[in-house]
Amino acid sequence: MIHGKAIARVMGILMLLVGVLMLPGAAFSYYYGSSDLLALLGSSAISILSGLAFFFAFKEDKDGIRKREGYLIVALTWVVMAIFGMMPYIISGAIPKVPDALFETISGLTTTGATILTDIEALPQGLLFWRSMTQWIGGLGIIVLTVAIFPLLGIGGIELFVAEASGPTNDKLHPRIRETARRLWLLYVGLTVLVAVLYYLFGMNLFDAVNHALTTMATGGFSTKNDSFAFFTSPALQYIAIIFMFIAGTNFTVIYFFLTGRVKAALRSDEFKAYAVVVAFLIVAISVPIYFLGDSGVEEAFRKTAFQIISMITTTGFVLDDYTAYHEGITLIFFMFLFFGASAGSTSGGIKFVRHLTFFKNSYLEFKRIIHPRAIVPLKINGDRVTGKIITSIMNFLLIYLMVFVFGSIFLSFMGYDIITSFGAVATSLGNVGPAIGGVGPEDSWNFFNPAAKIFLAFLMLLGRLELFTILVLFTPYFWKAN
Amino acid sequence: MIHGKAIARVMGILMLLVGVLMLPGAAFSYYYGSSDLLALLGSSAISILSGLAFFFAFKEDKDGIRKREGYLIVALTWVVMAIFGMMPYIISGAIPKVPDALFETISGLTTTGATILTDIEALPQGLLFWRSMTQWIGGLGIIVLTVAIFPLLGIGGIELFVAEASGPTNDKLHPRIRETARRLWLLYVGLTVLVAVLYYLFGMNLFDAVNHALTTMATGGFSTKNDSFAFFTSPALQYIAIIFMFIAGTNFTVIYFFLTGRVKAALRSDEFKAYAVVVAFLIVAISVPIYFLGDSGVEEAFRKTAFQIISMITTTGFVLDDYTAYHEGITLIFFMFLFFGASAGSTSGGIKFVRHLTFFKNSYLEFKRIIHPRAIVPLKINGDRVTGKIITSIMNFLLIYLMVFVFGSIFLSFMGYDIITSFGAVATSLGNVGPAIGGVGPEDSWNFFNPAAKIFLAFLMLLGRLELFTILVLFTPYFWKAN
Ligand SMILES: [K+]
Ligand SMILES: [K+]
């Protein structure tokens, strides 16, 4: 039996949180005298009152929350936040239709960053700020989930690599999960403030600095500008974004180790090393053709390439240039980036390096096993042996991810979109990246999709953000059968 | 240390075989008085003499052939057959350039069926027949390899499902591998004769009947007509092709069980059941939109759809209609078929149903394992439990297959081809299918590719035909290191 009361109480807390976090947007709205003040205050009031009602109507469950409720809570968390989160768009009339408002909100909360807006700058400041805030909330949510909830649920085989970048017993970030989660979200808040200050110091106005700080650390990619980050032509600002997108794509535990001087512990993370090395390699390798194909100087070609690669691989999705305009081969490489994802335990979406790393290492060892069938050839990550169960689980995740991509693309193409657009939209939704290829290139609005397609793509964003299994398991009979 | 002598001796036998099998082509050439008689006889003589020289120069190795030599022999078999097999094209001047002739020969021997010819009917009959014969030889080769060699080498985790469709100890086709291989190739010869007779009885001339019989049973797809099978408008002929393509995509052991009346043993093959059910379901499901999108009657829509689906899924690649002309969604589904492959132990290429089945069953069970982490949830195929090692091996194959597809597509797109054409050409080469999408649609010649791209695509055909690992393992240090 599923304990509905415990779930309802948690949802109440979430509504409260959403309502409270709408207030900074209202403050900006008041400051700028923009037209959306009442819509934000009203939405905030509704959310807070609903939250209080749910919280007091449902008492804490004596049994606490078990695994099965955990899945439902995780899925419902995003749904409830989306329903309350889209109210300001609808009430203000800025995005009057529900599928559009829902798409924009889920694209925000899942830190995807695809937009149905065709003129972002026409949105009043209060809503613009709330839009960025949805991404920051989503980033916060995923950090808490990854540390506190996913290990409990066992999702896609990466749970072991998240909190314990440094081995099984020593050097744990902190024994108590609640404390770990608190430290990591403090880190998240601190880094957001830091990058906001830097953006401000190097030339953005306060509003843009705060907005872009929120969506940088969330690897979200929403911008207050129609041209996205290309609006900010200052190389210094672009380098700041490059560095902080990279940081936002790093496992927060690893960042914590670095900041507290435990460099050795941080460098025990094979995922971090693979992430750093692969990103560095790709920047060098792709800067060269982009330098020769484009008409910018060496530094600019390097900066543009670094920005775009890191923006895609960390699943941030800030846009500096139309990367589909260089060459079919480059376009295809950027399409492939939609399947990367940065680190587990960061705010980035997608498949993530630790899964790729496990697969690549294991594949290579598989050849050794073919040649020496009787030898025992263990796979090690972070110095520890990875069990066959985890390897299977990770390969299964990879294959199901690709299967969802394929079936999703077929489904979308049957709604009338061409193959490349279908591939691009599905891959980028599932990977929570934002820009893609085809009709959803880096400079395109997603407004042309029909309402059903928008809902479907929003569903894929949710599926990707919650590591597939959290959602998919709800569709199996195993979940609903009595224990 | 690798025993070169034993390998050279085997290569000698292969050259002999190739030389002898060129003679029927020469006979057709003589009968039709076509211009290629001398080229065929000359090539045959060179092959036979080289074969004899190799055979007698290298004595049998006392140590016999070990696993390591096995890999090299398998890879070299196709290379040597390709080198000798392309001679008639070059000597006759019909396909004067080496990359073209090599492409056409490897496309034949791997039973892929992509062609660089722009006017197939302009080829003299002797060469046309040799072209069909290369596919038939390739089909024969893969049956022998699958039964006799792959289980020894342990390739991609399907070795267990091939010879033993009916369980681990009882009902084995035959205990001795040599005898099994002999029975299966006799079955292959018998079915080829049968379908040739049927094609002839229902309206093809003798030459076309024999050619299409050879390429039907090999799931090869070379035709003597520019319009491929669409030249034969008779529904009866098309139904015969439908049935025999389906049979050619069935595990030959299962066919043998059926023919000897052991229906129960045949039906223990989960792969066969999945193959039959999925094909039937797809025909029904896709006939409906094709009926509404096209302008043919019910029977014709059904027949066309059945033909095209079976042609793609069995990796035969006969063409009846341009399936990319209906709808983007249908095109994408046909693109997906390039990743199917029919049964292990048939002549079809690609991934094959037993791997898909293992993955799907295991994925579904994975959800059960998530909900009940302490329960033991075994996976069964053909009534037997599949070990974790085999599951890992199969999932690894699937992922490496997809990885080769992705990197292959990027590589090809950098040679200057658009994304859809690159995806299509790489997928269909790797799957040994033949037709694809984009610039290599069902009605296109592959002649427009540059020589390097042709060589690369031929390499992918070889990679796919030999289940990836046989070739890839040669590129690892493990293979070349001393024992
Ligand atoms: K994003
Ligand atoms: K074929």
Say what the ipTM of the complex is. 0.92
B478 near A CB under 8 A: yes
Q: Please count the residue pairs, one from chain A and one from chain B, whose beta carbons lie less than 8 angstroms apart.
A: 130
- pLDDT, one tens digit per residue, over B340-377 is 999 998 999 999 999 999 999 999 998 888 888 788 88
pLDDT higher than threshold 50 for residue B395: yes
Give residue A218 CA to ligand 1 midpoint distance, Å.
8
What pLDDT is attached to residue B160? 58
Three-state DSSP state, B423: helix
Q: Report the mean per-residue pLDDT for chain A.
A: 90
pLDDT at residue A170, rounded to an integer:
34
* pLDDT over threshold 60, residue B171: no
In the reported structure, the alpha carbon of residue A112 is separated from the centroid of ligand 1 by a whole-number distance in angstroms of: 4
Write the pLDDT tens digit of every residue in A200-254.
Answer: 999 999 999 999 999 999 999 999 999 999 999 999 999 999 999 999 999 998 9
Any domain includes B66: no
pLDDT of residue B3: 72
Residue range A119-124: average pLDDT?
96
Average of per-residue pLDDT across B130-135:
98
Cβ–Cβ < 8 Å for B44, B23: yes
- Residue B455 domain-assigned? yes
| Cβ–Cβ gap B328/A469 under 8 Å | no
* Least confident stretch, A28-37, A70-79, B266-275: A70-79
Tokens 């995923």 map to which residue? A142
In this complex, the residue of B363, B413, B473 whose CB is nearest that of residue A371 is B473
Q: Name the B residues in 312-351 with CB < 8 Å from any A CB.
A: 327-329, 331-333, 335-336
The answer to which of B87-91, B187-191, B472-476 has the lowest mean pLDDT is B472-476
- The pLDDT tens digits for B22-73 are 999 999 999 999 899 999 999 999 999 999 999 888 877 666 667 777 888 8
Tell me the residues of chain B between 212 and 241 that have a Cβ less than 8 Å away from chain A. Answer: none
Q: Is B395 on the interface with A (CB under 8 A)?
A: yes
The alpha-carbon gap from B258 to the nearest alpha carbon of chain A, in Å, equals: 34
Higher-confidence residue: B193 or B292?
A: B193
Whole-number percent of chain B with pLDDT over 70:
93
Q: Which ligand is nearest to the CA of A111?
A: 1
pLDDT score, position A175:
54
Q: Which pLDDT belongs to residue B154?
A: 63
pLDDT of residue A164 exceeding 70, the answer is no
Distance CA B135, CA B155 (A): 22
Average pLDDT over residues A434-462: 96
Give contacts of B363 with chain A, Cβ < 8 Å.
396, 399-400
Tell me whether residue B341 is in a domain. yes
- Section A453-465 average pLDDT: 97
Q: Is the pLDDT of residue A101 over 90?
A: yes
pLDDT in tens, A341-370: 999 989 999 999 999 999 999 999 988 888
Residue-wise pLDDT for A256-274, tens only, equals 999 999 999 899 999 999 9
Residue-wise pLDDT for B400-447, tens only, equals 999 999 999 999 999 999 999 999 999 999 999 999 999 999 989 999
Please check whether residue B83 lies inside any domain of the structure: no
Position B330 scores a pLDDT of 94
Q: Which two tokens stand for residue A167?
A: 């081995």
* Cα gap A272→A280, rounded to integer Å: 12
- Mean pLDDT in residue range A158-176: 45
Distance between terminal CA atoms of chain B? 8
Higher pLDDT, residue B272 or B294? B272
- pLDDT for position A174: 43
User: In whole angstroms, what is the distance from residue A261 CA to residue A277 CA?
Assistant: 21
Distance from CA of A266 to the nearest CA of B (A): 30
**Which one of A292, A419, A469, A479 would you mutate to disrupt binding with B, by most B Cβ within 10 Å of its Cβ?**
A419
Asked which of A59-68, A439-448, B90-99, B302-311 is least confident by mean pLDDT, the reply is A59-68
pLDDT tops 60 at residue A482 = no
Minimum-distance CB partner of A329 among B333, B410, B437: B410
Q: Across residues B2-7, what is the average pLDDT? A: 76
Burial B149-170 (b: 16+ CB within 10 A, else e): bbbebbbbbbbbbbbbbbeeee
Picking from A274, A256, A283, A412, the residue whose alpha carbon sits closest to that of residue A345 is: A256
Residue B335 neighbours by CB under 8 Å, 6+ apart: A419, B423, B424, B427, B436, B437
Is A370 at the interface with chain B, CB within 8 A? yes
Calculate how far, in angstroms, residue B214's C-alpha sits from the geometric centre of ligand 2: 12
The count of other CB atoms within 10 Å of the CB of residue A294 is 15
- The closest alpha carbon to A221, from A417, A393, A436, belongs to A436
CA distance A14 to chain B (A): 26
Q: Report, as an integer, the average pLDDT of A273-298.
A: 93
Q: What is the domain extent for residue B407?
A: 97-483
Residue B104 lies in a domain: yes
In this complex, is the C-beta atom of A392 within 8 Å of any C-beta atom belonging to chain B?
yes
Query: What pLDDT score does B178 carry?
Result: 74
Indicate whether B145 pLDDT > 90. Answer: no
Q: State the residue for tokens 């520890």.
A: A384
pLDDT score at B174: 43
Confidence of residue B155 (pLDDT cuts 50, 70, 90): low
Q: For position A155, what pLDDT does the model report?
A: 61
Among all ligands shown, which has an atom nearest to the Cα of A461?
1
Which residues are CB-contacts of A405 (< 8 A; sequence separation ≥ 6)?
A: A339, A423, A426, A427, A430
**What's the CA gap between A306 and A312, in Å, rounded?**
10
Q: How many domains, chain B?
A: 1
Q: Is B40 within the bounds of a domain?
A: no
For the cut 50, the answer to whether the pLDDT of residue B6 exceeds it is yes
Cβ under 8 Å to A: B residues 21-80:
67-68
Q: How far is the CA of B329 from the centre of ligand 1 (A)?
A: 27
Confidence of residue A173 (pLDDT cuts 50, 70, 90): very low
- Residue B305 within a domain: yes
CB A95 within 8 A of CB A116: yes
Distance CA B73, CA B4 (A): 10
Average pLDDT, chain B: 90
Query: Given the DSSP bridges, would you call strands B384-385 and B380-381 parallel, antiparallel or unpaired?
Result: antiparallel
Do B368 and A328 count as a contact with CB atoms less than 8 A apart? no
Residue A55 has pLDDT above 70, yes or no: yes
Q: What is the pLDDT of residues A14-33, one digit of tens each?
A: 999 999 999 999 999 999 99
The pLDDT value recorded for residue A166 is 31
More confident residue, B166 or A120: A120
Rounded to the nearest whole angstrom, what is the distance from the C-alpha of residue A444 to the centroid of ligand 1?
15
**Vertex B258: Cα angle to B252 and B260 (nearest 5):** 105
- Range in A54-58, A316-320, B203-207 the model is least confident about: A54-58
Choose among A367, A398, A419: nearest Cβ to B473.
A367
Rounded Cα distance between A259 and B206, Å, is 80
Please tell me the predicted confidence (pLDDT) of residue A144: 83
Least confident span in B47-61, B222-236, B272-286: B47-61
Among the residue ranges A182-196, A320-334, B157-171, the one predicted with the least confidence is B157-171
pLDDT at A167 exceeding the cut of 50: no
Q: What is the pLDDT of residue B99?
A: 97
Does B42 reside within a domain? no
C-alpha A111 to ligand 1 mean position (Å): 5
Annotated binding site of B: 111-112, 220, 315-316, 432-433
At residue B156 the predicted structure's pLDDT band, cuts being 50, 70 and 90, is: low
The pLDDT value given to residue B10: 85
Cα dist from A152 to A71, A474, B106, whole Å: 10, 16, 52
